[in-house]
Structure 1
Amino acid sequence: MAVIVRAGAAPMWWPGLLAAAVGAFVPGLAGRRIGLLAGAAMFLVTLAVVAFARTGRYAELARGATRAGRSDFLQDRDVTVRNWRRGHRWWLLGAFLVAVATAAVLPGAGGLVLAGAGAGLWLKAARFGRREVRDDVLYWVRTDRVENGRPAGRQVKAYQTTGPVAGDAAPGGARRRRQ
């Protein structure tokens, strides 16, 4: 489950920083200093909004989680990430282009908003990973229930759990380190 949340973090973070860097070289209508300061403020606001949005729904689904059965299909981490990124690639490209285009008004601000959304997703996945460590389980979403890459959408009725060493994802959606 945290893999789906974390899948969008990097494709928003790095292009957001690139758009902010491009925007820092454009004078813009408001000026570089005001644009970057406004962007830093919007970065923090976006990070907080994304990181704490729908946390009640995530907690509710985690409380109602059931143990995954032998016949349940649990998708690999890499497949989940690839599917999410493929499904959202045009949206991500559009967000990057808008972030670069906003540099004409507020230099760097659009890129920092995009980077803030990526950082917020990473923070949300990390918080859920701490819950997984605390509960000593990994939470999964049935692949047929995920709608448009949303792990807490209307079709998701409850999460499923496995032991903490199942699959190829560590708690929080990171890659499991093999030793």
Structure 2
Amino acid sequence: MAIVTLADTKAQLGISADDTRDDTELLGYVDAAAAAVEKETGRVVERRTFTDQVLVGRPRRTILLPHVPVAELISLVSVDGYAWDVSAGAAVVDADSGAVTVVTGPPLSGTLVAVYEAGPAVVAPNDRLAALIIIQHLWQTQRGTMGIQLGGDSEGGYVPGRGFAIPRRAQELLANQLPGVA
């Protein structure tokens, strides 16, 4: 599942659904926006399968997977050949932290290969909207259609230490919200 569809992208940019001239370029922008959203948030925003090698020094029962949230652990195998039966509950996964704890079988050690799905079942509305804003910003700046923006009120201006590709309003949609009273 993509963070946004090609149809969503065309609607955001005011491009007719029948106009296919820029489809390849637009799909590239969708991929780039998804990567930017994931980098900004530090989490997977569109569900997909990962295969990661995890190096474990001394034997232990728990490892951390690098891509969160973890939706499902598909397999966990040592390069030495031992496979934990994850379908039978040999391992427990904390989705938010990516912690995998084996509850049966030998402890984890050496080089492990974990295959798992990470990402939410449905893209969060703020992630989806931020992606569309990023795509629109990249499209307009590439096409030269943003015009001259002077002063500090520009939506897409340079933010020191942050770069130019992610407009401020997209950054605000992606910011971690602190708990509190409204």
TM-score (norm 1): 0.26
TM-score (norm 2): 0.26
* Higher share in strand: 2
* Higher share in helix: 1
